[in-house]
Structure 1
Amino acid sequence: MSNSNSSNSSNSNPHHHTYKKFGIEICIEYQKQQQQQQERTVSINSKGYKLSIHPFFFKNKLSIQLPSTLTPGSNSPKSSTANADQQKYISSYVDDAGIAKPLNQSIFDIFSRSKFLSTLVHENLVEFIAAEPSKKHHDQILLVSEDYSNSLLKVLQRQAKTSISIPSNTISSYAYQILKALTYLHSNNLTHRNLSIENIKFNEKNEIKLTNYGLYFLSDEGENVSFPIGNLLYLSPESILKESKGSSNPKADVWALGCILLHICLGYCIWDDNDPNIVTNRILYLFGFNNTCQTFNTETLEFQEIDPPEHEFADSQYSRANIDSFLLSIKSKIQNDNLFEIISHCLTPNPLDRPSSSTLLDHPHFDQFKLNDAYKPDWIVKPSVIKSMDLPDNLTDIVYEKETRNIVKDYDVFSGLEVYYLWKLMGGNIEKELISKGFAKPSPSVHKLPLFVPVKSSLIQSGTSNTQPIIKSNNSILYNNEVCIVDIDNLFVKFKSAFKSNDILKSLEDYQAGYLLNQSKKDGNATYKASSLKNNVEYQMVLIKEFHRLLYEYQFGDPTLSQPKIFRLAKSFIPPVLRGDLWSAILGVNDKEAAQLYYSINLDQKGPNDKQFELDIPRCHQYHPLLSSKQGHSQLFRILKAWSLLNIEKGCYWQGLDNVASPFLVHHFYNESKAFASVKAFVDKYLKILYVPNNMASLSEIMLTYQQLLSYHDPELSTHLLNIQLEPDLYAIPWFITVFAHLLSLDKIDILWDTILLCPSSLPYFIAVSMISQFKSHILKMNFEDGIKIISMIPSVDVEKCIQDALFKFNNTPLSTTVNKYISNADGDLWWMQEKPMDARKKELFPRIGIHDLINSNNSNNTDNNGQPLPVKIIDIRSPSFYQQCHYPNSINMNPKGSKTPTQMESIRGHPIVVIAPPSDIEGIDFCNQLVKWKLPYVSLLNGGMDALQHGASTLLIYKNQDDSTKQ
């Protein structure tokens, strides 16, 4: 099994059964029978874990208009009076002009690459956590990663002071761990290119952690930065000869490893010098160039300056003569022959002959380290049933087991991303950290900067006509390997406080009873639960730990047991740091099954909707760095194509699917199979009836239901929209066909979908009603011409307020209002269940309810402003004679056309109103429509009226004979 999977550790270690593999390790101990009463022992194994911030500047590419006289590469003199036709635009790279400007394609691509780095998981790599744009400089990015105080540089400095050499076995262990990390990076098509003794860190268990491995990849192999990446002492010769960009060959890292191992063995870098040109010439001499003014004296073991011989450069290129002579002279300094052989292989001049990291890792010298590697993948052999195997080796084990039998040890690991999220939740700010520790200076307000900065010709440098000009500022930004270390000890204190008692964990048991809203006992008002928990650090720590356990069980255990628990627990709050995984689990997505399905689809074939995808994708949420990047475009294209090919029998792609897929892609960037499976599950649950070739009937049904619910909860707004002829078809179709993803920004979609995914598929109706109701005061002043402003206002909606209002409306609306009450080929006796033409149904401004909602109406949660319950008022508008023969308990018989009716209805304003009409339904429809126009809320018509009650709930009715017998 390859070492790239070495994150799957030994089963004997309890940490290997955690959802996250590397990070802050937490162990909670308590007595099994007393866990509810006593305090628990919390131990944190951070291994010296810290956060680091590495600021670096990238190049902005701008198009600047210059006169022809300033055009780089122009040798002929031009008149200073050149007309405008002689001016043209040139593309220029700008280091740091200090001008505020929007994010551009360079930074978008950097962000997309950073997401790939955050997917890397290996025991010998620090976790790359995030890349965030600087708020001070528009061409600066802040890289946040795991870090440690101790480094190989410090180890060598201590060794130099004590004059004690590092044992060869320890050096070999270093080589083994570095090669494991390099092999993993190279298997993911990444070249470190920055390997040096400063970037090799140690945790408190003396395990190697490579840092700064992502800068070369982030900068597009050095293309987006104005400085060379890498330490000159460890740069491979081919990287030096490639000039600015250097070599992207991963074997450059192998050369760097050889240099580092040699540095450790000797205690110093033998070709180091204060002059970079001398260092370069010494390295090129070892590479085989004999005209570099440098040679190596094998007797004094020092480099010496000489006069260059008169022969061509290429004659001796890749020759091993110089490096072999050099290594042979210092062989006595390297005690281990195998280690010397590895160094010799690493320092092979010709990169084609130089072995790869994986080849070196298979060297027999490393076999002993592989046997004792705690992170090696284990093959578990099922033993045969032998009686002696069940017996203990000694009685001491039995005694110890008995003593510790009641002690429970609960392990978990918080990843670097989660640590960073919690640190920010506690008030951590990377910009303030940089300023407080001297890595950045406070800058003046952007309003104090000049609006226009002229670019002088003296700032433009160019070599030849074939090279692009580079605009340099006076303070050109160079590569700086310094990082700002952030101490997170206060976070560890918070961890212990959160897990020490069982109070928070016990409170999580209440999530089974709650339903996204907290009900106030004093006034009956409900508040959105997530709003009150999003800043509670200790609660989120415990919540994340519980989600870790459930997500691990979901992926590797029985999902039928863990998924309902995830669903119920998510109702309390969904931590943003786990949002993507939780969404997928709630939708029933399994990682392995998703990969099998996705990679079984042939994406190389030409799809029927490819050209439409190419048109839609560049318009989809292009303000978002990931979705506007090249990688974002290609991943979204493949996901949409996979869905299209999987549903090719429908022959239909609806515009808007790109918006639906976008949130899942952002949360599963570089995990296309999981993003695709999540999109598929989401569409199947919420949009299946809409993403078909002919969806007009479904759309009409949805628009009618939305219109009726709007009338039910806000008849004033509903009637106004109808009066100005602004029907739902003119503005609301994109809301439902994309579940608001086309309308809102992704940060608002995240909050909205957290709720939608946990509720019945009818919740989007109530979201739409609450959303438009937020702008009621503006809409009531509008006419039809101003109606388009509704669309422009909706993106500014207060999402949390909208969710709170929608959930309240959902909980106080009869369930049958959103359910289709008609069936095809219904029995004639069940006339109320027979299908009706849509044109006729559109005349009904109110919803219909079923008899079950009427029967359960006593459990209504409607309350007045004082929190007092408002009982349902049942209005029976049949003739008095029919009413006396049979009626529903507590119903009121009323003449719908009576002169006192308006006054009577006004007296019950605010109460839910259910109308029981004669069988013809015409009177009932007219009466309910009139109540809506009178702006009475909560009006509904009982579907089927008294006939439906007699058919399904006859025992609840009061008959005339019953009244007579009662009187007697």
Structure 2
Amino acid sequence: MKPIRDAQLGAFTFFASALPHDVCGSNGLPLTPNSIKILGRFQILKTTTHPRLCQYVDISRGKHERLIVVAEHYSRNLGDFRQEQTVSPEKVLQVAYEVLEGLDFMNKHGLVHRALSPNNVLLDCKGNVKLAKFGLYHMTDHGADVDFPIGNPSYLAPEVIALGCFHPSDPSHSETPLPSGPKSDVWSLGILLFELCAGRRVLQNIEISDKLKFILTLGCMDDIVTVLAEEHGCLEIIKELPENVVELLRKCLTFLPSKRPTPAELLGDPVFDGISCHYPPFQKPVSLFSSSLRCAHLELPDDISDLCKDDDEDYLSERGIDEVYHLWCLAGGDLEKELTNKEIIQSKPPVCTLPKFVLEDGESFGQGRDRSFLLDDTTVKLPLCQLRNRLKDVAGEAYYPLLEDEQSSLPQSNSSNELSATVTLPLIIRERDTEYQLIRIILFDRLLKVRAAYVLGDIQAKYDSTDKDTPIPTDRQIEVDIPRCHQYDELLSSPQGHIKFRRVLKAWVVSHPDLVYWQGLDSLCAPFLYLNFNNEALAYACMSAFIPKYLYNFFLKDNSHVIQEYLTVFSQMIAFHDPELSNHLNEIGFIPDVNTDMVFVTHFPCCICFSTWHADVFPLHKIFHLWDTLLLGSSSFPFCIGVAILQQLRDRLLANGFNECILLFSDLPEIDIERCVRESINLFCWTPKSATYRQYAQPMKAGGDGIFGKTATYFSSDYQDMPKTDLSREPLALCDLKAEVSPRISAEDLIDLCELSLAGPTKRSKSGKPKIVAVDIRNVEDFGRGHVSGSINIPFNSVFGPDGELVQCPASGVLQNYRGRVIVIISHAVKSAALFAAHLVKVNFSRVCILDGGISKLKPTGLLTVPSPQI
């Protein structure tokens, strides 16, 4: 995004045409409001960046189909320039060339201006052209979604005028007129250039009907330029112009579109040979996901303060215009308030807005057509004084942040201290804190430029090569699912949103022939599409990388074994972290099992992370915050998110039975996402890596990690990606996995957690106590032949009888002193260890797990301790 520099933020407003409330579409759903349609089409305009175009920034919906558009703005326009000074022929050619550059770029992206007028040809501080409101024709579907014509009649091309005026609400018009082409803008440019040369406006002081009639009669003239000059008394001025300028005017003001050149053709005209060399070809800005170098000069001086010696330096002006607008909103900016202060928005009493109606005798009552619903071409400048005042105390160093490896011996800057202080505040405060967000935006921007200078893989070519148009059997299900997916969101509910949904989903289905579409894949796609609305290829690439990591084999035609294993591991995670809740859920039969109650499974909270058919359990803004953390963790992190959600609901779950719990998840209460993220990280840190092992998870791959790259995580690495050894956890049959309440951990995990060595265990928590305790349930003789150093011996036969019946409760003894630590049960036979662990869970011992493979896995390591013989 271009820096704001001498530009301003401007806003203009208009109304979309209203639709009848009692009419539904062919699918039986209410018609999409025209304002939603406009909002969806607007999004692509934010990516249309060129030095000759004013950058679009944002659009918002208000009441009664009102839309407010925010864009780059400049105070001077072509009309002001004409009045300020006499325009030289050289300046006329410069203006013409720069306007044609903007028009040609638009045409290459399928856009036509159609609203060229002096007010919409702005001039920056250097006098260069900036075309404004170039997207109005596109976003309104060529004028079909508004009740006013697009363009000033004085500048519209004859073929546009010949089409007449079209109103969508008029029942006499069954079809919309054909859209204008690039050549219509060339005529409008010709009128603008003629006015510059003549020093006056033309076709302005006559009635609209006479004006239109005169324009249409120009088709009978051989030399339109001469006729216009004679009509407005400026023939002598036109005759004094250089021949090349007059020839340019004649080419632009060619009556027949078939003979009129396009902007691209005019740019190559010899008339511009003398100035075209001063305009280098436009280079598209390098995006984040490209193979080009994005950071040419990012090295900072040893002393960052050298950049910030001038107290009057306007550092904010070097930030992107979209960033400045975001900060303006955080600092209290209100679009409707600014437009109301300039009387662009005027409130009226409800009685004055009643529709007009006519009685049988012809007498009429009520309000006629409200002109406020027509287009007001005024652009209101958004004042930045409030934002600048808010940021006046932010040091200049904050705009040039040092990264961790650059700080070394340099003193801590004020901006870093402020960032550290603010980060401890609640999320809702941090998100609305202007200073914090400024520092955060700049820091993240620099991190992306420095740390990710290259991103490999041509995701656009891969997406383009995928067939997204040929009908497939899945089309019907996709069409049914999309209108129900996050339709509270204006962007995703727009027709453009539906089109993009369909294309991305079909691309995924077609490019994964070994997998199938399961209902709800659209909900999984929604966050990626929303965040990359104007980059379908990136949305597709993100989803394609997300699914193998977190939902590997979930989209097989027969995925029951994958789902059952996942739900079983999740049940073990509940027992591991919250045995009391686990016991209660088991007692009431409220357990995640695809064979018992599918309604429960589809509403179970862990489904927001691993089940694709209900990723819309949370609204998008909560999903973003949750997935920001999820993407930094391993494939097992969703288990911890699910447990964290359950723990927020545990009081209500413990107090209710099966039916009440079903209703609770059918209408999920408000979840504190910030707390969920914080607690899930803590749960993850307490979970041994191998405890969440799944044999149906994604196997380790050589090379990169897809579009997300080799990301450093807050947490431990993914156990699935670790090389397998003799000490690794072995695959377990699903029936055996379901029979165990507590998870298993590998021998290598036990060695790592205990930091076993010949010197014994050294792993300790902050309190100084060991974080893990090994409970060896073999008999005393076997324990004496070799055991884990520091382990506790509680023989199985001292707790359970020969038939597995409970003899006494070990929790009343020595294990009470070890509550809160990870308890690893070690035995010869894993079956007896599982029974012992299940009993500990029954009496509410948390963090209980079983050593996979038993003591025999540790014997070859030489790490077992033999007691010294007593003398």
Same fold (TM over 0.5): yes
Within 2, Cα distance between the matches of 1:184 and 1:856?
Answer: 60
Give ranges in structure 2 of 5+ residues lacking alignment: 167-176, 285-300, 309-314, 409-422, 594-599, 700-724, 756-761, 801-806
Structure 2 residue 328 is matched with structure 1 residue 423? yes
Q: Which residue of 2 aligns with 1:911?
A: 820
Within 2, Cα distance between the matches of 1:777 and 1:375?
Answer: 65
Deviation string, structure 1 residues 578-625 (Cα, Å, up to 9, x no partner): xxxxxxxxxx7x4xx112212222334333422332222222222222
- Which structure has more relative contact order (CA 8 Å, sep 6+)? It is 1
- AA aligned opposite 2:237: K
How far 1:537 sits from its partner (Å)? 4.1
Within 1, Cα distance between the matches of 2:89 and 2:787?
Answer: 97
Structure 2 residue 748 is matched with structure 1 residue 845? no
1:598 corresponds to which of 449, 458, 463 = 463
Q: Structure 1 pair 54/455, CA: closer, same or farther in 2 (3 Å)?
A: closer
Name the stretch that deviates more: 121-130 or 789-798: 789-798
Kept in 1, the 8 Å contact 2:573–2:639? The answer is yes
Deviation string, structure 1 residues 814-842 (Cα, Å, up to 9, x no partner): 11211248999xxxx98995544322321
Q: Structure 1 pair 783/850, CA: closer, same or farther in 2 (3 Å)?
A: same
Q: Structure 1 pair 850/442, CA: closer, same or farther in 2 (3 Å)?
A: farther
Within 1, Cα distance between the matches of 2:116 and 2:522?
Answer: 40
Deviation string, structure 1 residues 666-707 (Cα, Å, up to 9, x no partner): 222232222222221222322232222332222122111111
Deviation string, structure 1 residues 696-739 (Cα, Å, up to 9, x no partner): 22212211111111111112222222212122133247431329
Q: Which residue of 2 aligns with 1:183?
A: 104
Kept in 2, the 8 Å contact 1:425–1:535? The answer is yes
Q: How does 1:571-582 map to 2 (within 5 A)?
A: none
Within 1, Cα distance between the matches of 2:7 and 2:374?
Answer: 28
SS of residue matched to 1:771: helix
Q: Which residue of 1 aligns with 2:501?
A: 636
Q: Which residue of 1 aligns with 2:14?
A: 56
Kept in 1, the 8 Å contact 2:789–2:865? The answer is yes
Structure 2 residue 139 is matched with structure 1 residue 211? no
Q: How does 1:377-396 map to 2 (within 5 A)?
A: none
Within 1, Cα distance between the matches of 2:89 and 2:647?
Answer: 74
- Count residues in correspondence: 759
Q: Which residue of 2 aligns with 1:105?
A: 33
Within 1, Cα distance between the matches of 2:101 and 2:676?
Answer: 51
- AA aligned opposite 2:79: L
- AA aligned opposite 2:134: Y
Deviation string, structure 1 residues 319-352 (Cα, Å, up to 9, x no partner): 5466654458855413222111111111112222
SS of residue matched to 1:700: helix
Kept in 2, the 8 Å contact 1:327–1:344? The answer is no
Q: Structure 1 pair 133/509, CA: closer, same or farther in 2 (3 Å)?
A: farther
How far 1:172 sits from its partner (Å)? 1.0
1:173 corresponds to which of 84, 94, 117 = 94
1:239 corresponds to which of 140, 145, 160 = 160
Q: Structure 1 pair 499/845, CA: closer, same or farther in 2 (3 Å)?
A: same
Name the stretch that deviates more: 896-905 or 885-894: 896-905
Within 2, Cα distance between the matches of 1:668 and 1:110?
Answer: 18
Kept in 1, the 8 Å contact 2:43–2:533? The answer is yes
Structure 2 residue 492 is matched with structure 1 residue 627? yes
Within 1, Cα distance between the matches of 2:279 and 2:123?
Answer: 16
The TM-score, its normalising length taken from structure 1, stands at 0.71
Q: Structure 1 pair 506/185, CA: closer, same or farther in 2 (3 Å)?
A: closer
Name the stretch that deviates more: 414-423 or 788-797: 788-797
Within 2, Cα distance between the matches of 1:507 and 1:201?
Answer: 40
Structure 2 residue 261 is matched with structure 1 residue 358? no
How far 1:767 sits from its partner (Å)? 0.9
How far 1:558 sits from its partner (Å)? 3.9
Within 2, Cα distance between the matches of 1:456 and 1:909?
Answer: 80
Structure 2 residue 229 is matched with structure 1 residue 333? no
Structure 2 residue 358 is matched with structure 1 residue 458? yes
SS of residue matched to 1:228: coil
Give ranges in structure 1 of 5+ residues lacking alignment: 1-19, 25-45, 65-88, 92-101, 160-164, 289-318, 379-403, 463-469, 513-525, 560-587
SS of residue matched to 2:523: helix
Kept in 2, the 8 Å contact 1:193–1:213? The answer is yes
Structure 2 residue 483 is matched with structure 1 residue 618? yes
Q: How does 1:543-582 map to 2 (within 5 A)?
A: 543-549=440-446, 551=448, 557-559=453-455
Q: Structure 1 pair 249/485, CA: closer, same or farther in 2 (3 Å)?
A: same
Q: Which residue of 1 aligns with 2:618?
A: 744
Within 1, Cα distance between the matches of 2:275 and 2:652?
Answer: 72
Within 2, Cα distance between the matches of 1:671 and 1:254?
Answer: 31
Kept in 1, the 8 Å contact 2:774–2:791? The answer is yes
Q: Structure 1 pair 437/868, CA: closer, same or farther in 2 (3 Å)?
A: farther
Q: Which residue of 1 aligns with 2:418?
A: none
2:563 corresponds to which of 655, 679, 699 = 699
Within 2, Cα distance between the matches of 1:822 and 1:959?
Answer: 39
Within 2, Cα distance between the matches of 1:754 and 1:471?
Answer: 52
The TM-score, its normalising length taken from structure 2, stands at 0.79
Within 2, Cα distance between the matches of 1:853 and 1:841?
Answer: 19
Q: Structure 1 pair 905/242, CA: closer, same or farther in 2 (3 Å)?
A: farther
Structure 2 residue 534 is matched with structure 1 residue 657? no
Kept in 2, the 8 Å contact 1:459–1:471? The answer is no
Within 1, Cα distance between the matches of 2:860 and 2:787?
Answer: 13
SS of residue matched to 2:20: strand
Q: Which residue of 1 aligns with 2:121?
A: 200
Structure 2 residue 652 is matched with structure 1 residue 778? yes
SS of residue matched to 1:742: helix
- AA aligned opposite 2:3: G
SS of residue matched to 1:802: helix
Within 2, Cα distance between the matches of 1:457 and 1:244?
Answer: 24
Q: Structure 1 pair 504/281, CA: closer, same or farther in 2 (3 Å)?
A: closer
- AA aligned opposite 1:776: R
Q: Structure 1 pair 471/812, CA: closer, same or farther in 2 (3 Å)?
A: farther
SS of residue matched to 1:281: helix
SS of residue matched to 1:796: coil
SS of residue matched to 2:491: coil
- AA aligned opposite 2:813: Q
Within 2, Cα distance between the matches of 1:531 and 1:703?
Answer: 33
Deviation string, structure 1 residues 616-666 (Cα, Å, up to 9, x no partner): 222222222232222222222222222222222x15222232222222222
Structure 2 residue 75 is matched with structure 1 residue 149? yes
Q: Structure 1 pair 502/198, CA: closer, same or farther in 2 (3 Å)?
A: closer
Question: What is the CA RMSD across the aligned residues, in angstroms?
Answer: 3.9
Q: How does 1:66-465 map to 2 (within 5 A)?
A: 104-134=32-62, 137-159=63-85, 165-245=86-166, 248-273=180-205, 275-288=207-220, 320=222, 325-326=227-228, 330=234, 332-334=236-238, 335-374=241-280, 376=282, 414-441=319-346, 457-458=357-358
Deviation string, structure 1 residues 102-137 (Cα, Å, up to 9, x no partner): 994322211111101111011010111111112xx2
How far 1:354 sits from its partner (Å)? 1.6
Kept in 1, the 8 Å contact 2:727–2:857? The answer is no
Within 2, Cα distance between the matches of 1:417 and 1:822?
Answer: 44
